[in-house]
A and B are shown apart, each in its own frame.
Chain A
Amino acid sequence: MPMRNQVSDVEKIPQVFIEISLEEMHARVAEHIEDGWRFLQLCATTIESGIELVYTLGRGPEVENLVTNIANGDIVPSITDLAPAAFFFENETKELFGVNFKGIAIDFGGNFYKLSEPFPMNPDGFYVEIPADEPEPQVESEDELEPKPEAEPEAESADGGEADE
């Protein structure tokens, strides 16, 4: 009776699960994407101490999973700047688990699916507003303003010169 050898399958498509902290997540994903890995999926699971996030990346037959544990109320940096396709999963996780992501490319603000009960997959979940960033420093020095008025007369003189000719 021919049976398939499971070991050869496991060798054919190796997969690893690596535990890292939330702070290094964005940098690790950026490293992988530069190396040629492709973003596959983002999965959230409710565990006793909070939520476990699994980011899956694939390159060819290999699969690498970056696992991180967060608590309810943590704010996670979004990876849509590296992988735009992640906006779907981040919006969904926000709505089903109450995990807030900072900086999603298209942010539905918790109305992605419009559910009948809030945070159905995470009974302890709650929505945390992202604190506003500090305002960017105003342009104070005149050095930055000077080139503009200089550019205009140059353009005008160039136009005037061409019109004359």
Chain B
Amino acid sequence: MSERTVIPFGPQHPVLPEPIHLDLVMEDERVVQAIPQLGFIHRGLERLVKTRDYMHFVYVTERICGICSFGHSYGYSQTIERLMGIEVPMRAEYLRVIWFELSRIHSHLLWMGLAADSFGYENLFYQCWRLRERVLDIFEKTTGGRVILSACNVGGVNYDIDNSELAGISQIIQKLKRDAKPLIKALVKDRSIKDRLVGSGYLSQEDAVKLSIVGPFARASGVEEDIRMFGVGGYGELAEFKPQTSTQGDNYARVAVRCNELLQSCDIICEMIDKIPDGPICEKPKGNPPEAQGIGRVEQPRGEVVYYVKGNGTRFLERFRIRTPTSQNVAGMVQLLQGCELSEVPLNILTIDPCISCTER
């Protein structure tokens, strides 16, 4: 009978970009149970709806998370527009999709770099982040900010992009797709990486459905759910959209799904730039949100985000709540960690792409 020890993991750890604490109950080298302890980033910003009106609150939603920043302002704007019945100009919808997909590319490249660093490939970490700088340059050129864009607003977008500049962006993205392929090949075809990833961290499709997990974490286990396929907003203008899935359900499948999504995003951006119509970019909202409740959903890089908004007739919202993908996936992460070895723990945590600052708001 081996004794059980408890090893504290986090909140400060070189491989974790964000603080999360786990108590790992170990028997020798195997994790028997993982008890998560959150609360290091809870700022309590949902109460800020009482002091900031619904137009100003977009800037707060952007700063919930730096990586998923544009996605939160997009989802919030979409939900308020639906509640108030605002019609958004078509050009604004296309621009929103372009920025959103760029945000997805930058997030996946960031994750690929961190995952490579967590299993020891520091050079791959640097190469992925170097490629990501091209996307940040596009952000800076079009909006002025690298991380927090402040581009999306209720009623449309704040900045316009010239058609000539859009053509330039299309060329940059096509080159990025060509340059990303060797990096993806290194992650997906390299023998030692495959040895590390294949078979570890397995989650079956039944468990994925029972734990109601979302995002690439679920799609890698065979659950075909992606909000983009419902065709809301600019996504309704795409010729076709098929979510990237895999049936293997292990760490390798998750890496492969994210790499495929990255390449798919490049195609979506080029398609949107080809088809973008001319027109205004913003429809200023009139009046206040009505006394009603509404739900909005967007597919962020980490999964599906649900926005719940309740208005009360004044310019301050009654309630605003975000349900982020990581808060759903925490249960799945705890399941993944059971039975794995101590040296696999950082990889298994990173593989669900946790964004703790989104989760704890």
Contact = CB atoms under 8 A, between A and B. Distances in A.
Interface of A: 1-6, 8-10, 12-13, 15, 17, 38-41, 43, 45, 54, 56, 58, 60-61, 63, 65, 83-85, 87-89, 106, 112-115, 120-121
Nearest to A88: B327
Contacts of A58: 297
B295 A65 contact: yes
12 contacts: A4-B90, A6-B87, A12-B236, A41-B308, A41-B321, A58-B297, A60-B230, A83-B212, A88-B327, A89-B327, A106-B35, A121-B47
A120 B47 CA distance: 8
Contacts, number: 103
Contacts of B44: 115, 120
Contacts of B353: none
B35 to A, nearest CB: 7
A63 B89 contact: no
A3 B89 contact: yes
Contact of B85 (A6, A41, A54): A6
Given A2-B89, A61-B230, A85-B329, 12 more contacts: A4-B90, A13-B230, A15-B294, A15-B295, A41-B323, A43-B308, A54-B293, A58-B297, A85-B211, A85-B212, A88-B327, A113-B42
B279 interface: yes
Contacts of A121: 46-47
Q: Is the interface of A mostly helix, strand, loop or mixed?
A: mixed
A43 B308 CA distance: 8
Given A3-B89, A4-B88, A40-B306, A12 B38 contact: no
Q: Which 6 A-B pairs have the closest CB atoms?
A: A41-B323, A113-B39, A2-B90, A45-B319, A61-B230, A85-B331
A91 to B, nearest CB: 9
